[in-house]
Amino acid sequence: MINDLKKRWEIQKNWQLIYPFLGIIGLLLSGYILAKGILKSFSPDNLILLFFLTLLVSYGILNVTLKIFNKLASKWNVTYRWELIAIFLVFAITGSTAAKISGPILEALDLKEMISNSFLFWTIRILLIFPIYQVMLVLVGWLFGQFDFFWAFEKKMLKRMGFKRFFNE
């Protein structure tokens, strides 16, 4: 079974098995969170139903993700398939963390109380999340061994946003 997993994800070294393992944990956690949200209004205390719905939702996420993997493998020009798992994990961790920490930052700056208009509040929150996300993307990408991919990704995005003069290539 391990050899099949290594072959499917083009894993050459045993340490690279951490990526499929983390991917499965992230998949199950996402399925659990979604299943819990679905069941909240129906049957919040039914653990058996929660377990099976978690598996069902996780399976659905897995199918969609594998289809996306096949398309992105050629577009992103990754060397090995396991790198796709690492890249998806970086996007997930970075996005979740940036969104989570933006709330306390807004509260620390007392902006939550000052801004009563929800449209303005969310606009400011998104503008605050954006630079945090950009920095975190490269840092977390580096931690996951994907610095080159995310640095190129950042440069491409910043060039499209009009910051071409900062990158002389």
Per-residue pLDDT at 81: 87
Q: How far is CA 161 from the centre of its chain?
A: 22
Whether 119 and 59 share a structural domain: no
Whether 91 and 53 share a structural domain: no
Mean pLDDT of the chain: 87
Give pLDDT tens digits for 86-135. 999 999 999 889 888 888 888 888 777 777 777 888 888 888 888 889 99
Whether 101 and 163 share a structural domain: yes
Task: Kindly indicate the confidence band of residue 162, based on its pLDDT and cuts at 50, 70 and 90.
Answer: confident
Give pLDDT tens digits for 131-152. 889 999 999 999 999 999 999 9
- This prediction has a pTM of 0.81
Own/partner contacts of 91-94, CB < 8 Å, gap of 24 or more, are 91/137, 92/26, 93/140, 94/133, 94/136, 94/137, 94/140, 94/141
Whether 46 and 90 share a structural domain: no
Whether 52 and 103 share a structural domain: no
Whether 29 and 54 share a structural domain: yes
Number of domains in the chain: 2
Whether 169 and 87 share a structural domain: yes
